[in-house]
Amino acid sequence: MSLSQQIMEQTEETVLHTYNRFPVVFDHGEGVHLYDADGKEYLDFGAGIAVFALGYGNEAYKDALKAQIDKLIHTSNLYYHKPLADAAGQIIRHTGLSKVFFTNSGAEAIEGAIKAARKYAYTRDGSADHEIIAMNHSFHGRTVGALSVTGNSHYQDPFKPLMGGVKFADFNDFESVLSSVTDKTCAIIMETVQGEGGIYPADPEFIRAVRKLCDERDILLILDEIQCGMGRTGEWFACNAYGVRPDIMTLAKALGCGVPVGAFVLNEKAAASSLVPGDHGTTYGGNPLACAAVAKVFELFDEMDLVSHVKKTAPYLEKKLDELVEKYDFLTCRRGAGFMQGIVVKDRPVGAIVKKALEMGLVILSAGSDVIRLVPPLVITEADIDEMIRLLEASF
């Protein structure tokens, strides 16, 4: 029995089976490549589900984490520490918002954003029966609160009843949103680019109209930038391309580039009238190790000018994908932004393509039931894109 087989069997014996894992045991990474326990090389266009923006083996990133491990890993939020101040300062500077709360994951960031929005409305009028409008085909996480605003019954049905006071509107359909608004509406939550739902960017007219509506009705706009933020679309945050700033933004994934960390970030209005001591907390969130990672990620993004690199290189990726769609009848269209791209497939199971690509040495993902999802490290080059196209075609 190979080492990989031993590891897979041990995992299946001991770990709760909530994932249908691919039969690969990844051992290490370098640049934009992963290597399994048997030494096989894989070109990575999944980045751990849009997490490893810097690629693998970045020495400055590793050194920052090692240095922090030698100093202090955890203190709890009862005390101050410098990495917290540094990481928060970077987030506020880059988002243009006012206050940040660090979490351990994206789902926890969504939970905190929901609580902040409800507390804001409660502070305003003393009522506890407020409603949130979310989007159909959205995905915000698997905890009860995050699941409650995830517009997909497949994820929700086994766990009902969920959190009440949630209505669902159609993404990119402003009239659908407007017809759902009542005097009880306290927040509208959406992904700036829908991810799991099939890689759908917000239409400019739609997101701007929603922002205007929120301003007029004193409704908080929550933008989920967990997957599409941190430079992935060629902007620091996807909403920047629309000239729209949310009242609350949620972040995770590439925020720590592998270290588990998330955050929800509030503008001055939301921060001043929502959560106060005793309303929300976390033991591990914002610990020195996680914050050292966040601070270093922002520093490296700036030093490497990664956002500009995405903006410069994305048109080449889009061109090559458009050529694929033109070439193959079973590919119907491409959609996305920057290095968050989807190819729609008809008459072929996407899962089979993803599996075959892995066998060929290419890591790709799916989104929904009919979309090939490409969310590579932000350091990929045109040569990496060419190699991805070659391997993807071989997989077809």
Q: Is residue 253 annotated as a catalytic residue, yes or no?
A: yes
Cβ contact 58:300 at 8 Å: yes
Cα(388)–Cα(374) distance, integer angstroms: 10
Which of the residues 44, 224, 247, 384 is marked catalytic?
224
Catalytic residue among 253, 296, 301, 339: 253
Catalytic residue among 102, 139, 168, 339: 139
Look up residue 303 and give its two tokens.
């030093």
Note if 22 is an active site residue.
no
| Residue 341, beta-bridge partner list | 336, 374
The DSSP letter of residue 123 is H
Contact 224, 250 (CB under 8 A): yes
Cβ atoms of 285 and 104 within 8 Å: the answer is yes
Asked if 37 and 25 touch (Cβ cutoff 8 Å), the reply is yes
Collapsed DSSP state (helix, strand, coil) of residue 26? strand
Q: Annotated catalytic, 139? A: yes
Contact (CB, 8 A) for 221 and 227: no
Cis peptide preceding 161, ω within 30 of 0: yes
Rounded CA-CA distance 224/202 in Å is 12
CA–CA separation, 25 vs 135, rounded Å? 36
Asked if residue 310 lies in contact with residue 231, where contact means CB atoms within 8 angstroms, the answer is yes
Active centre residues (catalytic): 139, 224, 253
